[in-house]
A and B are shown apart, each in its own frame.
Chain A
């Protein structure tokens, strides 16, 4: 295993010298010099290169192999995105540059918002939020502003969240100052309409709903859900985490969603992290547009401008205009696929997931078995002596990234698999074969799975100890093992 960089001691013996801190000292005014010596790694240039090259080889990304991490939409990101984001005219501009000098950038923001409005059916859009969860809190604050503006006498203090929801939903509602109440799922895996009806009332501000839900199922009663929610005076928030399933097929605004965030890193092929940062665009129906964050890009004639003032805006949610270069990548993605390509994304994602589900049902139970959308949830057989964790770890030995596990919470020992539209049938067939072999091993040699992974740089990690004794930084002399 590669050691941490602090454990290198190469400076004194290296042929290529590292920078000499004593020499640098001469050029820094004495009042700016620190008083304590900082412990920095003593590493030659060559060892730095070798260290990070070694680490990069340990990494597993979608560019290495299949990455069916459910609800995360680990699709292949076209490299043209990176090329475009690197253009001097985009990467080199300053956020305080005068509007007339950055017309192209403003046009890009304006048009990307337009594309997102087109595929979602919403009337308003902001690109400011810097992540999906940031988009969620922005959306919920829009809902709060809407209720306060339109009927300040009402006490709508509760947000409803289904028991299949992503954990960010209740967290967002709580952060926005709401109480959270859970709504049950029915035996089909849809939101339970009776339980929803029981919970709706004059105290409810909104229902936060993911469609398709985290079981990978399309909420087939969505129109009735939307009708009930609106009838009670509440709004319908859409968690766009699973929007990839709908892209090009359905516009969420037409399903009755009032506000929804879009994870650009999932659906619109921007980096998930590492290469980050993120972007969580938020779309709204017309009635909510007065509350959108400022600034917004507007167009007058052929020119683009920043609009900083808007009476009822919830204000800024991010410095400048969010992570602009991430928006650039999403913009490039729209052009790389074109209208026709975008229209095929959802269809192919759903087809791929159903193909995998159909094949894997031969080996693994799928508790909510109806036709799925872009992902599905399966489990080990009840009488196997191995857990979902054991299977996930064994999948690493076959060269794939494991699926999302133990989520959603309503399925015992869940494995949530999302292939995305960018995988080929050949890749999926290889994965099916591996999962078939693992199923056989689970019966014949469960001990093997319990020891997995056997081929990775580190073996089975003690997750409980890692959680109980968090070590987040290097400390000289501490034994990390």
Chain B
């Protein structure tokens, strides 16, 4: 499942514009499927500055611990507190209630470098061969 209206990173995060220069970020359905049942999500503090591709947190599943990478640069303006008690939201609703952080975008030009839904679908189809 790859929603058409989102942008994607090669490291399997999605980006969604949610208002005035603010981007919502999470991991894709493919990523949560690969990780397996997620048991813990570590997220950054609000106001932390992130560079593009910098690690913003960690997702721990029953299989592995994986870094989460920010697809864009900017300042964290919100984190999904619900994941503290219910990390399984990432598995169940990766594109909605399983979101991870919101970022105030520092360099809007970075968006054009991200993958479209079509390109991302190609990427994961190649990966699973």
List the interface of chain A (C-beta within 8 A of B): 167, 406-407, 409, 463-464, 467-468
A167–B60 Cα gap in the complex (Å)? 13
> Other than the known A467-B39, A467-B40, A468-B40, what 16 A-B pairs have Cβ atoms closer than 8 Å?
A167-B65, A406-B63, A407-B64, A409-B64, A463-B62, A464-B37, A464-B38, A464-B39, A464-B62, A464-B88, A467-B37, A467-B60, A467-B62, A468-B39, A468-B87, A468-B88
A406–B37 Cα gap in the complex (Å)? 13
Which A residues are CB-close (under 8 A) to B40? 467-468
Which residue on A lies nearest to B67, using beta carbons? A182
The proximity string for B residues 43-67 relative to A, scoring 1 for CB distances below 8 Å and 0 otherwise, is 0000000000000000010111100
Quick one: which of A406, A407, A463, A468 has the most chain B CB within 10 A? A468
Task: Report the minimum CB–CB distance from A460 to chain B (whole Å).
Answer: 12
Q: How many A-B residue pairs have CB under 8 A?
A: 22
Which B residues are CB-close (under 8 A) to A407? 64
Task: Report the minimum CB–CB distance from A468 to chain B (whole Å).
Answer: 5
Contact-residue size bin, chain B (C-beta under 8 Å from the other chain): 10 to 19
A463–B39 Cα gap in the complex (Å)? 9
List the interface of chain B (C-beta within 8 A of A): 36-40, 60, 62-65, 87-88
Asked if A463 and B37 make an inter-chain contact with CB atoms under 8 angstroms apart, the answer reads: yes
Contact pick for B64, options A406, A463, A464, A468, CB 8 Å: A406
A409–B40 Cα gap in the complex (Å)? 18
Which residue on A lies nearest to B37, using beta carbons? A464
A407–B40 Cα gap in the complex (Å)? 19
Task: Report the minimum CB–CB distance from A177 to chain B (whole Å).
Answer: 18
A463–B60 Cα gap in the complex (Å)? 12
**Can you name 15 A-B residue pairings with CB atoms under 8 Å?**
A167-B65, A406-B64, A407-B64, A463-B37, A463-B62, A464-B36, A464-B37, A464-B88, A467-B37, A467-B39, A467-B40, A467-B62, A468-B39, A468-B40, A468-B88
Which A residues are CB-close (under 8 A) to B37? 463-464, 467
Task: Report the minimum CB–CB distance from A175 to chain B (whole Å).
Answer: 15
A167–B62 Cα gap in the complex (Å)? 15
- 4 closest Cβ contacts across the A-B interface? A467-B39, A464-B37, A406-B63, A463-B62
Task: Report the minimum CB–CB distance from B124 to chain A (whole Å).
Answer: 13
Task: Report the minimum CB–CB distance from A304 to chain B (whole Å).
Answer: 45
Which A residues are CB-close (under 8 A) to B65? 167
Task: Report the minimum CB–CB distance from A338 to chain B (whole Å).
Answer: 42
A173–B16 Cα gap in the complex (Å)? 35
Which B residues are CB-close (under 8 A) to A467? 37, 39-40, 60, 62
A379–B63 Cα gap in the complex (Å)? 15
A464–B62 Cα gap in the complex (Å)? 6
A255–B99 Cα gap in the complex (Å)? 48
Which A residues are CB-close (under 8 A) to B64? 406-407, 409
A468–B63 Cα gap in the complex (Å)? 13
Which A residues are CB-close (under 8 A) to B88? 464, 468
Which B residues are CB-close (under 8 A) to A463? 37, 62
